[in-house]
Amino acid sequence: MDWRPSCTLDVLARRADMLAATRSFFAAREVMEVQTAALAAHGVTDPAIESMRTADGRYLQTSPEYQMKRLLAAGAPSIYQVGPVFRAGEAGRWHNPEFTMIEWYRVGLDGQALMREVADLVDALLGPSDYERRAYADLVGAPVESTPEDELDLRISDAIAKLKPARVFITEYPAPQAALARIEGGVASRFELVVDGVEVANGYHELRDAHELRRRMLRDNTLRRERGLAEIPLDEAFLAAHAHGLPDCAGVAVGFDRLVALKLGADSLAAVMPFPVERA
């Protein structure tokens, strides 16, 4: 057994520099750093994401989203978080069951403004470049309204894999794939950023309607049943926060380890993590 880290100490130093640059980026914009619980009573209902559970039935968080939105509903200003998140069944070249996420919420911004800020952060960490925008339907090339969601997932993954090396925002997601984004003009106010073929960011102009949120979470569990996955109990504290009132805001999650790999020209996450799952 090799006890040593999978990345070099020089890589760790470069990673530390990028973490410091990330915090400086948000400090300059007066976005407050927060820390929420990595272990909580509820997990996400999203059928595309599988949570890890501990022996006492609690969930390692796949994202700090639920708790960060509870902070926003309680009156917090624009906030960000950098920390570990956990997802079951995700291991491979660009996946690890535990990884580092940058997640932030900007009060008063919409999806268009948040895309610009995401580009600013990526430029600060990777160096400046141009950005393209591509509509989801143009990439999929199929009648989105009549195509099953599982097939759409495969088509968009295939389309992303075929993108030329560039920084590309994918926009105008179909309404059924809104996740927790609001619907505007018949499409989801959701975007993803792909950098040189690697998906690095997923953002929303956030849904604020508590009744619609409950409906979507119940729909998620219906899809989970149909796919033979365990249903996830609804997080009533999260729903209550929305009923109390989420401010108008936009939020995004960014894979920090992937940005480090892109910056350093690495061909996998293992090359920029000290102890990926095989060595942890």
Q: List the domain boundaries for the chain.
A: 9-271
Task: Evaluate whether 188 touches 177 at the Cβ level (below 8 Å).
Answer: yes
CA–CA gap between residue 214 and residue 236 (Å, rounded): 9
How far apart CA 81 and CA 14 sit, in angstroms, is 20
Assign 144 a pLDDT band (cuts: 50, 70, 90): confident
Q: Which residue did the predictor score with more confidence, 150 or 126?
A: 126
pLDDT exceeds cutoff 80 at 243? yes
Q: Which pLDDT score, from 0 to 100, does residue 139 have?
A: 93
Residue 251: the pLDDT is: 98
Here the tokens at position 53 are 């559970």
For position 129, what pLDDT does the model report? 98
147: pLDDT strictly greater than 90? no
Mean pLDDT of 175-193: 95
- The DSSP H or E segment spanning 107 is strand 98-107
Topology annotation, domain 9-271? BirA Bifunctional Protein; domain 2 (3.30.930)
154 vs 240: which has the higher pLDDT: 240
The average pLDDT across 233-262 equals 98
**What are the Cα distances from residue 139, in Å, to 9, 98, 133, 171, 269?**
40, 30, 11, 10, 26
CA distances from 134 to 150, 155, 179, 193 (A): 21, 15, 19, 10
Instruction: Give the residue-averaged pLDDT of 189-193.
Output: 98
CB 250 within 8 A of CB 110: yes
pLDDT at residue 143 in the model = 83
Whether residue 73 is predicted with pLDDT greater than 90 in this model: the reply is yes
- When pLDDT is averaged across residues 251-269 and rounded to a whole number, the result is 97
pLDDT digit string, tens, across residues 14-66:
999 999 999 999 999 999 999 999 999 999 999 999 999 999 999 999 999 99
Q: What's the mean pLDDT when you consider all of the chain?
A: 96
Is pLDDT of 145 > 80? no
